[in-house]
Amino acid sequence: MQKTNSLTGAEAVVRMLEAYDVRHIFGLCGDTTLPFYDALARLDHKMTHLLTRDERHAGYMADGYARVTGKPGICEGPSGGGATYILPPVVEANESSVPILAITTDVATTSRGKYPLTELDQKALFSSITKWNDSLDKASSLPGQIRAAFRAMTTGRPGATHLALPFDTQKAEVDPEDIWAEPRHQTFPSERSAPDPAAIEEAAQRLLKAKCPVMVCGGGPVIAGAMDIVRQLAETLNMVVATTVSGQGVIAETHPNALGVVGSNGGVPATRAVMDKADLVLFVGCRAGSVTTERWCSPDKSVAVIHIDSDPMVLGANYRTEIAICADAYLGLSALLGACRDKKQPFDFGGADIVRAAWSQKLEAFLALAGSDQQPITPERVIHSLSNCLDDDAVVVADPGTPCPYVSAHYRWRKAGRNFISNRAHGALGFALAASMGAHIGRPSVKTVNLMGDGSFGFCCGEFETMTRYRMPITSIVFSNSTYGWIKAGQNAGFDKRFYNVDFGRTDHAAVAAAFGVKSWRVEDPAELEGVLKQAIAHDGPSLVDVIAQPLHQAAAPVSEWVA
């Protein structure tokens, strides 16, 4: 029998989340979730639970929410299928250094091994895709487990965590005296690691001896909030700043030193030429993976490398590194900036001139296609028109496939900050719709737009019901080309145009969305596009524009592996 002054395990979860200043939970109900939902219903708390249509999108909402708020995102789902459906967003968040806590309820511990419905070894299932993972097999351990989850999510390299809540331990007793939080873990990154001063001094000396250095920023400086430090370092040395797709927003791309995205997804010949001329590359919060480096060919392996990253396993993993600095991006760059300024002599690497020439070449090719009246509508025209319609503080979320390379290459961000989100770790289709919903909940004062292909639309359209139920004024744009475009473009470029099982029938996405209550338009004439986008963006509820768009295998996509 429960003691009068004790809490149940489910109640303790609610109180622990409340202690960590959690305000929103995204999730979906199930049989094993009943005690947790009952606790949410009965207890007085400041949290809002948003009911989604499947667990996968609950996780993506938590991801988008975390990216724009700087607070861990919380998602939940039931046992069995719920636990398996929530896996994709957990692995995406973990590999993207985004802190989310996935709570999955489970069958009772007393039922294990007796073939109960929905039994899974959840701890084993999540072990390889999380930074921290456990099962509440003893109710009294719950407060400590929640604290461990928040500590793991927010410290070092942020990542995803998972906690399974068996049915019986949700009903067992927890001592209220154990309910307390560590406030420093309510946001991320917390407990930042500072660099070794000797390594910083060595890096400054080596950097200042270079003739044409390039700084390549990944998602780390964005997560660390190092935007102003990146700008100051670029201006102090007049050096080129390039970004990965995840690093967009670390500097305004209208800044004189901002080159934009480099690599095989979003890079173009003009940006590649800058990387080819670099005699030193400073990687910051960047794994130097296959996309950023065009399969480790740009920069060349002979180029000197300085690398700053909070994860020691990243340092030296792909390039011989002259100076490796294991540190938070903000603290590492701040120290490097101070060391360079201490030299008390002017340095000018000519970065602004290099960037100006690269953007001139890049814009010439882009604007020719952005102004095209051809049908189907070019993706360049969509991006150009969207940029003309949105305020500088808008949040844009792009699915992989057609949208991502075009946004990365051609949507020129006029303001530094987290205004662009894309799932660059594993690239699952159907991410953008849900992530835009999480981003809107986290930052409701700005306009949020999500971009998807029609392949992605098929993965996620059920969540339009969620969007309309909560009346979220999000605008969705569908690049409709009736194919899995990325794969077809690969077949076109690398397999002698042997197109096999990549095409599907055209859906009237506007009609489908309208059936969910979304204000919708379909656009085939490029002359009508910008006017329709303005109407959709101004609408005070959910809106969608279905654009009959040029398929990737026929387009001038900024993806180097498709270029002869």
pLDDT, one tens digit per residue, over 17-76 is 999 999 999 999 999 999 999 999 999 999 999 999 999 999 999 999 999 999 999 999
CA distance 77 to 107: 13
- For residue 3, is pLDDT > 90? no
Instruction: Give, for 200, the enclosing helix (H) or strand (E).
Output: helix 197-208
**Residues 86 and 61: beta-carbon distance below 8 Å:** no
**Residues 470 and 445: beta-carbon distance below 8 Å:** no
Superfamily of domain 7-185: Thiamin diphosphate (ThDP)-binding fold, Pyr/PP domains (3.40.50.970)
Q: CB under 8 Å to 281, separation ≥6 — which residues?
A: 213, 214, 215, 216, 275, 299, 303, 304, 305, 306
Q: Do domains 7-185 and 371-562 have the same CATH topology?
A: yes
Q: Where are the beta strands (DSSP E) in 413-456?
A: 420-422, 448-453
**Residues 103 and 163: beta-carbon distance below 8 Å:** yes
pLDDT of residue 298: 95
Q: Where are the beta strands (DSSP E) in 28-154?
A: 48-51, 73-77, 100-106, 132-135
Domain ranges of the chain: 7-185, 197-354, 371-562
| DSSP-based three-state secondary structure for 353 | helix
- For residue 290, is pLDDT > 80? yes
Tokens of 389: 């319609």
Domain 197-354 matching CATH 3.40.50.1220: the answer reads yes
Candidates 95, 379, 67, 433; CA nearest to 249 is 67
Fold designation for 371-562:
Rossmann fold (3.40.50)
Secondary structure of the chain: what % helix, strand, coil (to 5)?
A: 45, 20, 40
pLDDT in tens, 229-270: 999 999 999 999 999 999 999 999 999 999 999 999 999 999
CA distance 178 to 9: 12
Dump the DSSP string for 482-520.
SB-HHHHHHHHHHSTT---S-B-PPP-HHHHHHHTT-EE
As a whole number of Å, the end-to-end CA separation of the chain is 73
pLDDT in tens, 303-359: 999 999 999 999 999 999 999 999 999 999 999 999 999 998 889 999 999 999 999
pLDDT of residue 280: 98
CA distance 412 to 420: 11
